[in-house]
Chains A and B, each alone.
Chain A
Amino acid sequence: MSIKVENLCHVYRKGLPEESKALDEVSFDVSDNQILGVIGHTGSGKSTLLQHLNGLLKADSGEISIDGMRLYAPEVSMLDIRKKVGLVFQYPEYQLFEETVAKDIAFGPKNLGLTEEEIDSRVREAMSLVNLDYDTFSEKSPFDLSGGQKRRVAIAGVLAMKPKILILDEPTAGLDPKTHKDILNMVVDIHRKEKNITVFVSHNMNDIANISDNIIVMDKGKCVLQGKPEEVFSHSDFIKSIGLDLPDVTQLMKDLGIEREDGKAIFSLDEAENMIFNMIGGSK
């Protein structure tokens, strides 16, 4: 499984005076079993990019291949793409509509035309992936649940389509710190269990640094930087110049003027603690 994006361009309001390039020659690869973090400030083209990856938006030029399947080839149907790529929107709980949790999660599989038994087993599987007990929750109304639980149901609704690639647009937006942590851990767990490719957008640089294998940085529709988190965040001045923050630990170490010998960014508090202790240890 892989994603290959080449020279993707998307223009909003083409031909009008307020024409703007939402995506401008974006290229990147994601290989099997990776978590890709996407960062960039609001309006940098992140959400537009995600919507291209499962065919909701079509590029004006460029190519996307998912596992060798070219998205814009004439024989590829939307349903083919959606079977492979699941997209969880921002605040996905606002899209729940069924009377019961189980029915809502079944909406995706039903659209795929699966049998009743298959649908039922997928619902159970998806609910266990998001840590919702089937017997407790399946017959409840999704509207009676807490914010965190609603979000789990919404994510389960996409997981039930068994996508090989799971895309999440700010999965933790608007949650309190505890729920935030729970949902983030859940995303990592799902990734491990399903061995999928996970692409996620977040404004929280600590989360991005901690769970991504690779990062792409978007600015004004362009992919301006990509690489491993410790490389990307070592370009601290550049990251700041496009309106983004550094992870908290990285920022602290930068302020203290402590650097690793290889120049890579520091995320872990354990490592930071030792380096700080060494720095002041001599003068004590």
Chain B
Amino acid sequence: MIRDITLGQYYNVESLIHRLDPRVKMAWTFMYIIGLFIINDFIGFVFAGICLALVIYMSKVPVKFMVRGLKPIFFIIVITFILNMLMIGGEVLVKWWIFSITKEGLKQASIMAIRLIMLIIGSSILTLTTKPINLTDGIEKALSPFKRFGFPAHEIAMMTTIALRFIPTLLEETDKIMKAQQARGADFESGNILRRAKQLIPILVPLFIGAFRIANDMAMAMEARCYRGGDHRTKMHSMQYEKRDFVAYGLIVVFLAAIILLRIYF
């Protein structure tokens, strides 16, 4: 059922990682990804892997949730691995027909695969431990310095907030409309592409009309509650950094420094 689709895969528990300021978590994710591309050796991945494992442990999110995120891209990982393995020349280990697997190729392929896996797991921590709404607030706050150059940080955040709010409503609406048209004998599953596209009209038209009605009502309700854009606006959650956030920022520097040192000296 369409209603069962979960968006923004937030995992609701209390943990230190959950409590961190979203800006810190975004910075961490960003720097972690950069770190992954600096690393070029297994020892680096072992270090990053230990850090990652530590964070996962602290976040109290079950490991299976992290691994679940890998499923859709498993195929991509395999392709990347094979391509890297076959394309890079060097000391030949196995040779079969026109394919040859080299030592360098195998190493490079493994590095790419590990990098991808760690990248997906690492960045899923951000969404697993941060509510979408807090993420939006974090983005708004982080981007607010760019407002003076005309960057619409508040507007983007507001739009995202409303979109997040109405995704479940619109999914429910779609479900209802589909059922109602099915009750009138509509069949969404058979026929060729053209026929199927045509069969979407009885769903899309009411859905769009519904969305416009929501937008219209929403605009009126927001105006009635004195909404007038981002100027003069305050926030209930003013997002003040706590001590732990500064510690986390400090640890980013340590993390990056360690990775660079590992790359240089090993």
Contacts and interface: CB of A to CB of B under 8 A. Distances in A.
A111 interface: yes
A87 interface: yes
Contacts of A95: 177, 180-181, 202, 206
- Most chain A beta-carbon contacts within 10 A, residue among B179, B185, B201: B185
Given A95-B206, A97-B205, A87 B4 contact: no
Size category of the A interface is: 20 to 34
B186 A54 contact: no
Nearest to B201: A97
B14 interface: no
Interface string A105-134: 001100110000000000000000000000
A158 B183 contact: yes
B224 interface: no
Given A94-B206, A95-B206, A97-B205, A51 B185 contact: no
A97 B208 CA distance: 10
A89 B180 contact: yes
A82 interface: yes
Interface residues of B, number: 19
A56 B183 contact: yes
Contact of B206 (A96, A108, A111): A96
Nearest to B184: A108
B2 interface: no
A51 B186 CA distance: 15
A50 to B, nearest CB: 10
Nearest to A79: B185
A54 B4 CA distance: 22
B149 to A, nearest CB: 43
Contacts of B209: 94, 97, 143
Interface in A136-158: 143, 157-158
A89 B177 CA distance: 9
B186 to A, nearest CB: 6
Contacts of A107: 181, 184-186, 202
A25 B232 CA distance: 58
B176 interface: yes
A92 interface: yes
Contact of A56 (B179, B206, B210): B179
B182 A56 contact: yes
A87 B183 contact: yes
B187 interface: yes
Interface string A63-92: 000000000000000110010001101001
A95 B179 CA distance: 10
A218 interface: no
Contacts of A161: 184-185
A13 interface: yes
21 contacts: A13-B4, A51-B179, A54-B183, A78-B182, A87-B183, A89-B179, A89-B183, A92-B180, A94-B176, A95-B177, A97-B202, A97-B205, A97-B209, A107-B181, A107-B185, A111-B185, A112-B185, A157-B184, A158-B183, A161-B184, A161-B185
Interface of A: 13, 51, 54, 56, 78-79, 82, 86-87, 89, 92, 94-97, 107-108, 111-112, 143, 157-158, 161
Given A92-B180, A108-B185, A111-B186, 5 more contacts: A95-B177, A95-B180, A96-B206, A111-B184, A158-B183
Interface of B: 4, 173, 176-177, 179-187, 201-202, 205-206, 209-210
**Closest A-B pairs by Cβ, 10 of them:** A111-B185, A97-B205, A108-B184, A87-B183, A95-B180, A89-B180, A82-B185, A97-B202, A97-B206, A56-B179
